[in-house]
Structures are given as structure tokens and as C-alpha cells.
Amino acid sequence: MRRVHLVVSGRVQGVFYRASCAREARARGLAGWVRNLPDGRVEVALEGPEPQVEAMIAWCREGPPAAWVDEVEIAGEEPTGEAGFRVTG
């Protein structure tokens, strides 16, 4: 199991990034959450098997069709055993 914390910058708010991210993460069986930050970025926590986490990181670098991703900051974290994927904030 792997857990990562992402901060995504670019045109990522108001373009269905959170909803699309949640749908993609759930489809891959990942746990975690996604939320908007006050500065216009999006924050994501992902937890699950390595291949699915890597695939989701690749998706986050592209985002939904209306998004424009400039940068994805990635930090590894210890898995927490979190279940389900939710949209917050």
C-alpha cells in the first residue's frame, strides 16, 4: 500500500477537478480525499496499491478536460488504512 499527498496548481478550480478526481479515484479502488485550497490550488490524498496510485498521479497531472495543470507537488506519507474517497471543502 502507498499513500501520497498532492497539491495541484493551475486552472483546477471551477472545472470539475474535485468531482472528476473522486470519480477516477473510486474507479481505481483508492481511498482518500480531495479539496479546494483558498489559494486556487487543489489538495489530494490518495491511498491504495502502488499501480493504482501511480495511475491516479498521472491522471492528476492532466485533470478533467477543462483543467489546465501547471504543477503537481507530491509527498509520500505513511498509509493510514483510510477507507473510501470523499470530496471535502
Active-site residue identified among 36, 41, 61, 86: 36
Please tell me the distance from the alpha carbon of residue 11 to that of residue 86, in angstroms, as a whole number: 21
Active-site residue identified among 2, 3, 18, 41: 18
Respond yes or no: is residue 41 known to be catalytic.
Answer: no
Q: What residues does 85 pair with on adjacent strands? A: 32
Respond yes or no: is residue 18 known to be catalytic.
Answer: yes
Please tell me the distance from the alpha carbon of residue 51 to that of residue 64, in angstroms, as a whole number: 20
Q: What is the set of active-site residues?
A: 18, 36
